[in-house]
Amino acid sequence: MEIEDWAGGSSDSEVSSPDSDNEDHCYAYGDLPKLQFRKGGSVAHWREELGMAEVVSNKGRMWITTGIVRGGKLYIFLEDALFLAEIGALQLFDVDEKCIPLEDIYKKVAGGVGGSSWESFEVYRHLKSLGYIIKRHGVCWSMKQVKSASASVEGESENGCEETASITEITKLFSSMQITEAGPVFDVYPPNSKFRKSSPGEPMFILCISSGGPPTKKQIEDIEGQCEGIPLKFCYVEHGRVSIFSFNDVELPVLP
């Protein structure tokens, strides 16, 4: 078994990113980070019926690698919204146009809204802070990627991405599950200044979150069968420390 302990990101044509000189984000966090919004930051509206947020004003290069595009609109999952709110890059508003406090966003994550969980957010935050590009497994970045996958292999998906097209389908996909269930959770891409949502390429690896104990051999084999040859890694979170590891087949010699 190979173990890795990781201590502790031109716009997609469907949605533009007007503030192209915004620098990469780096931050430190404690139990409850102090929220300081940046001048001219991005704005999103929370869509309770979707369990997602619709971005109405996107400022900065971070949007090149954050959010999914549907019908010319940009949507983000709860982990995206909380991460950006923590670093002061996003203001999240409710249906009454009131800014949602950071504490309330934490409660949504802890409550599993939209298929989220605190463990999965800690993993997301850790990888994003290191500069990796990360999205939920099974959801294409944009409709152009969906159409590309359909054209290349009829009836199959490309780059481990299911043809989950509409926001309604995405909502149904995650509404009845927690993304810490056994199975692929995130697609992780290496830092890439030329990344495009319409043509993202294959993920560097697919990540599963291991809760409680290590996965069984059968679980590993079953999940690997869903990954279409893309490397599979597992993640374990304990007291805020994120450990990522993978498994290799080893044949032991037969002793005389």
Digit-by-digit pLDDT tens for the chain (256 residues) are 443 444 333 334 344 443 433 333 333 334 445 555 555 689 999 999 999 999 999 999 999 999 999 989 999 999 999 999 999 999 999 999 999 999 999 999 999 999 999 999 999 999 999 999 999 998 999 987 666 655 554 544 445 454 556 888 888 777 655 554 568 899 999 999 999 999 999 999 999 988 777 788 888 888 888 888 899 999 888 888 898 888 877 788 888 8
Contact (Cβ atoms closer than 8 angstroms) between residue 3 and residue 236: no
Q: Taking the model in full, what pTM does it have?
A: 0.76
Distances (CA, A) of 57 to 44, 89, 98: 7, 11, 16
Categorise residue 151: left if φ over 0, alpha if ψ from -120 to 50, beta otherwise.
alpha
CA-nearest of 185, 181, 221, 182 to 206 is 185
Estimate the crossing angle of helix 118-129 against helix 102-110, to 10 degrees. Answer: 120
pLDDT at 129: 95
